[in-house]
Amino acid sequence: MKIHFCLLLFALLLPIKSHSQYRDICVMLHLEDSDTKRQLGNGLAYAFSKNKEGVDTLTMIKIMKATPEYMYYGELKRKLSVGDTLFVRSRCENYEEETTPFVITQKMIEETPVNIEGTVRLRRAPKTLREATVTASKIMMVNKGDTIVYNADYFQLAEGSMLDALISQLPGVKLEKGGRITINGNFVSSLLINGKDFFKGDPTVALENLPAYMVNKVKAYQKAPDNAYIIRDSLKANASDPWVIDVNLKRDYAQGWIANAESGYGTGNRYLARLFGLRFTDYSRLSLFTNFNNTNDNGRPGREGSWSSIEPVFGRSVSKTGGLSYGTESKNRKTSFSTNLTLAYNNDDIQTEKSTERFQAFGSSYVRSRNQEHLRNTVLNMDASFSHSAKKAYFCWDNVFSYNHSKDAANNYSVESAALPTESYRGALLDSLFVLQNYAKAGALTNYNRDLSTQSTTNWTYISLFNADIRLPHSRYITLQLNGRYSHATDKWFSRYALFMPRSSENGDYRNKYQTTPQHEYQWWAYANAPIYEKNIVRLVAAYTYRQEYYSNSRNLYRLDYLGGQWASANGYVLGMLPSTGDSLTRCIDYANTFNSNRHLYRHTPELQVQLTFKKGAALTLLFPVNFEHDVLSDLRMKDVRSHVSKHYVGFDPKIQFSWSGLNIEAHKRLVAPDMTYLLDVRDDSSPLAIYLGNPTLKATDIYSLSTKFSKTITKHAQNYYTGAGYHVLHHAVGQSRLYDNTLGVTTYTPRNINGNWTVSINGGYARSLDARQYWTISADAVWKYDNSVDFLQTNNIDAVTRTSVHNQALDGNLALRYRQKAVALSFVTSAKWQHAESEREGFTTINSLDMLYGLTANVTFPWGITLNTDCSLYTRGGYSDETMNTHEWIWNAELSKSFLRKKSLVIRLLGYDLLHQRHNVLRTLNAQGRTETWYNTIPRYVMLTLAYRLSIQPKKANQ
């Protein structure tokens, strides 16, 4: 690898009297081994000239790589002319020092800057055996105040890795499914690039598209709000401020254009194609990306495995996404504007088959079902943000627009039986009834049904948020906020539903349904707060919030089978066809399940905030809000029947927060009103097997929470540790009582209040390096949770509403040992999930299971430049009474990559996914309600060849 040493010298050109003029000189050296011609790594160079007496004049020092980050400036102490000689003294570890002269030519003088380029070949220095002390050349992480700084160059990554591969290796950081990030147990609210939001609200864009090779440092810290200079006495972040991860790019990519393109094709017609471009300047940024693939999973080998890997990916998906992000700010950094746009299209083919056992007081029931679904979804998201910081005011205005359109076509089959079906293979009973039409055993079934449906949904939402913070005399301030939201949705749904009940005198129920559900809603709220007392350590803040909401929901349900003829035949008109006249639709309205509801909510919240700031950074905050909420819901069903509900709630929701030196304690009580539709005294039997009733006597739920966390980062041995505990209680929780008709298989649901639900948890984690060079690191984390879950037991007696309680313990632990040195990175990971659930309920089967993961990953770069990136994991499930749930599966993925061209700009990769063909597509679950085995269609194993190209264009004067 050629290492460029770029040394900028300011040359004195015009000696007019006592004045001088300087020229920029750029010297680029290529250091090579004189024997092998191998390009050398880090080095050191001195640039100097000689005065008339022949004495050397040192002018500049350049260290390590030729990047602006390591640039040192000096001055040439005499006039630069044609024929002058510039000397550069080069040295490199284990090599002898070499001095190289460069003669200034007329062509060089005419260039700006003066460019000098050459190759210096160094001879190896004689080796002397003696005692030596070796120190690590790269530090994994350091602590700078309250900021954790990770050195991206420390971590060994495969060629072509994206940002998510780097983030997942950072000590104390966890990257979860969907882009959710935590650090030392704290949720990360934002992912920043060079301190700025990147595709606001969607960290997956950066995680999946930003190349890891561009990253210099990754910082994790709590970020004070932009208006802190108005509302606080200090710009330092508080314990309540959100955690962020700030990805700092290398200076080579701080200005100019960079692009990363990759495409690949594999067996089974698997393909991927993506493009990422980024332009950064000191005051603006522009980025765009596209990503097309049908691989279902954006993961790559070498991620050390996770329990999400053992769960099958639902269906087969074709994904096409693209986006654009732009941001700019004024030169004084006081005014900024940013906007983001993303467009996504997904085409999903999902097939599932389920075998379910439902636990009931009077004996289990068994369900076999099959679902075939084709879903197409288009999503457009846009946002724009403007902010301005004045001396005594701060203004921010955010706008968000989203649009979603989806089309869904589904075919569902289901069979329910009071006895365990005997099947020769999965889905045999479904095939016998619906494919072979063999009804010999149908009389022993509770019911069986099929549902063919299509659905089209469109919705859009607009949100506007305005915030102003104004500094008042005597160090006082006032905060004003005005926010609004409006959304509109339409839904059209067609269904042909056929239900057969062998034990019923009616024998069956056929429904040809057409349904529309127009909805629109708006919310707006205003907020103001201002300090009313400030003295010594005490600050009192008064706040007030007013919120108003309106919801209009309608459901127009038409029973086309009421029209008779082919409308009432399963082999009649094509699904999605409507009568030609509006009068025909009027004649087939299902009045009992057609409604128009309107809800109005008004909420007033006065609040007193007490803020106490003690010495050594300790802080105590007491919040005393009182919510006065008035809800009104009117619902029109049938022709002339109107249901009206009006509720008034008063909730005192105090909150206490204490923080000091990494310790955070929080206690909170809040009142949550029940869903207003639960309070309606109505009956919804639009689905023949599920009937929903209202309950006007429902009470609001009180939620009590207590949590504590402590975390600390120590630079020595790169240590991160955290611990925490939580307690959560629900009073008057809302559950669903279930009345089951074991003859017909019909379940009637009624919402009711229930007490006894509470949860306690303890968690902790620790990570550190094991040696001075930080080659070996170890990390461990665990969480224990006890959940006392109380619910209503499904029963067949309306007068016997019975409570059931399940005591559930779970322990989830992870241990990882990693080794990284130069071109080798190895890791061994083991995880365990233990669950123990028991109940006094008769017939409940105690759960005592243990799921284990053993994973080994390797990233090795061989001398000839080929990189192997692989992971091999063993997943085991044990302790289940059902032997089919006890499984052992080996999952092996591997990737070979090779870089070509200068600066490794071209990368070829060969990727193998599930090489042992053991990744299962059956998911088994067991809980208090029952046992379910679900089969999915998934992506089979495949091999893919990809080609990636990197492009970097920098302005000539980017380093100045």
Residue-range domains of the chain with CATH:
7-122 (2.60.40)
Q: The pTM is what?
A: 0.76
Q: Please tell me the predicted confidence (pLDDT) of residue 715.
A: 78
Which residue is associated with the tokens 């700084």?
149
Q: Please tell me the predicted confidence (pLDDT) of residue 905.
A: 81
Which residue is associated with the tokens 């409507």?
578
How many whole angstroms separate alpha carbon 90 and alpha carbon 100?
8
Average pLDDT estimate for 930-939: 82
Average pLDDT estimate for 928-956: 80
- 8 Å CB contact between 636 and 591: no
Residue 928 token pair: 């208090």
pLDDT of 308 above 60: no
Q: Please tell me the predicted confidence (pLDDT) of residue 19.
A: 34
475 or 258, which is more confident: 258
- Complete DSSP assignment for 242-301: PEEEEEEEPGGGSSEEEEEEEEEEEGGG-EEEEEEEEEE-SSEEEEEEEEEE-SS----T
761 — pLDDT class (breaks 50, 70, 90):
very high
pLDDT digits (tens, 9 = 90+) for 703-735: 999 999 998 888 788 888 899 999 999 999 998
- In terms of average pLDDT, the best of 94-108, 247-261, 741-755, 787-801 is 741-755
pLDDT digits (tens, 9 = 90+) for 91-145: 777 777 888 887 778 777 766 666 677 777 887 776 554 444 444 456 677 777 6
Q: Please tell me the predicted confidence (pLDDT) of residue 525.
A: 96
Q: Which of 463, 456, 486, 274 is nearest to 381 (CA)?
A: 463
Q: Which of 43-52, 374-383, 485-494, 565-574 has the lowest mean pLDDT?
A: 43-52
552 or 282, which is more confident: 552
Neighbours of 300 (CB within 10 A): 20
Give the length of the chain: 960
Q: Which of 264, 123, 251, 386 is nearest to 911 (CA)?
A: 264
- 8 Å CB contact between 888 and 876: yes
Q: Please tell me the predicted confidence (pLDDT) of residue 455.
A: 95
Q: Which of 233-247, 281-295, 524-538, 765-779 has the lowest mean pLDDT?
A: 233-247
How many whole angstroms separate alpha carbon 694 and alpha carbon 750?
6
Q: CA distances (Å), 148 to each of 136, 173, 191, 221, 566, in order? A: 19, 11, 15, 7, 70
Do β-strands 7-12 and 73-79 pair in parallel, antiparallel, or remain unpaired?
parallel
Q: Which of 649, 662, 789 is nearest to 728 (CA)?
A: 789
883 — pLDDT class (breaks 50, 70, 90):
low
463 or 938, which is more confident: 463
Q: Please tell me the predicted confidence (pLDDT) of residue 132.
A: 44
Q: Which of 72-86, 329-343, 673-687 has the lowest mean pLDDT?
A: 72-86
Q: Please tell me the predicted confidence (pLDDT) of residue 463.
A: 97
- In terms of average pLDDT, the best of 181-195, 329-343, 929-943 is 329-343
pLDDT of 937 above 90: no
- Whether the link from the prior residue into 518 is cis, omega within 30° of 0, is no
880 — pLDDT class (breaks 50, 70, 90):
low
Q: Please tell me the predicted confidence (pLDDT) of residue 36.
A: 62
The one-letter code for the residue type at 280 is F
pLDDT of 192 above 80: yes
Q: Please tell me the predicted confidence (pLDDT) of residue 177.
A: 65
926 or 599, which is more confident: 599
Do β-strands 114-122 and 24-33 pair in parallel, antiparallel, or remain unpaired?
parallel
pLDDT of 959 above 50: no
pLDDT of 659 above 80: yes
How many whole angstroms separate alpha carbon 818 and alpha carbon 775?
8
Average pLDDT estimate for 677-692: 88
638 — pLDDT class (breaks 50, 70, 90):
low
517 — pLDDT class (breaks 50, 70, 90):
very high
pLDDT digits (tens, 9 = 90+) for 843-867: 677 778 888 999 999 988 887 888 8
- 8 Å CB contact between 638 and 663: no
- 8 Å CB contact between 837 and 846: yes
- 8 Å CB contact between 222 and 246: no
How many whole angstroms separate alpha carbon 788 and alpha carbon 758?
5
pLDDT of 588 above 60: yes
Average pLDDT estimate for 260-275: 91
Average pLDDT estimate for 433-460: 88
Q: Please tell me the predicted confidence (pLDDT) of residue 49.
A: 65
